[in-house]
Amino acid sequence: MTPEESKKIRDLNKRWLNGELVEGLAFRYNSIVEASLPTGEKIGGWIVSASEENDKMIYTVEASNGSGDYYCTEDQIQNIDNESTEPANSVNADKPLD
């Protein structure tokens, strides 16, 4: 990875941690969500991390009831936050971080 690529990734990470919706991610950091578990149970919580596995985004949902973290795909999660969920492609990933 080049230094320029590393800087871009660091900048995108900082933006996401600051609550921006960035390209390639369906949720903002700390978005309040409801996740549907494979058991059929639904848990409320918030998004605390995102990673890519086998070409799928996996989001870590920290349960608001204290039962721990759950690893969910985008289709298992519903955003219940009041913030806008504008399309991720509307964020300019090349804009410098202030």
Q: What is the pLDDT of residue 82?
A: 62
Q: What ranges do the domains of the chain cover?
A: 3-83
- Is 19's pLDDT higher than 80? yes
Q: What is the pLDDT of residue 90?
A: 37
State the pTM of this model: 0.76
Q: Which fold has domain 3-83?
A: SH3 type barrels. (2.30.30)
pLDDT tens track for 33-71: 999 999 999 999 999 999 989 989 999 999 999 999 999
Confidence of residue 73 (pLDDT cuts 50, 70, 90): very high
Q: Which stretches of the chain are assigned E, i.e. beta strand?
A: 32-36, 42-53, 56-63, 69-73, 77-79
- Measure the CA–CA gap between 81 and 39, rounded to whole angstroms: 24
